[in-house]
Amino acid sequence: MISWKRRIGALVIGAVLIALLYVFVYDPIEKSPKQLHPPLLLFLSVGAFLMVNAIAMALNVLKAAVAVRHESEEEAEKILEPVLRGWLTDEQIFRLSDPSFFFALGLVASSTVICLLWVIT
């Protein structure tokens, strides 16, 4: 299991990275690059967060499907049921997706703050 220090570190790195990109790269007068325009930035950050979760779910389903190739139907159902409900059952996939999940969550948090500041000003 990933420690909370790594989770918080990944979240902070994601948030600081997107904030630094916005501050040093985005030109509000010319609105370029377009990917860093606040509403689009928020949309892309949420998209990245959803993509990380979708990839982890797909890997989990594929790994479980491979594991039940030669099992009886009852055994296969017992293995696949939690996987198809969306529960991460594989520790290796969980360890790989956990930091990227919190990194993407940091992107969403930072871009939300940027978008709110943009709306206020």
Q: pLDDT for 14-26, tens place per residue?
A: 999 999 999 999 9
Q: pLDDT for 38-48, tens place per residue?
A: 999 999 999 99
What integer pLDDT is reported at residue 1 of this predicted model? 61
Mean confidence (pLDDT) of the chain: 87
Taking the C-alpha atoms of residue 95 and residue 109, their distance in angstroms, rounded to an integer, is 22
Query: For residues 13-37, b (16+ Cβ closer than 10 Å) or e, as one string?
Result: ebbeebbebbeeebeeeeeeeeebb
Q: pLDDT for 58-98, tens place per residue?
A: 888 888 888 888 778 888 888 888 888 877 667 777 777 88
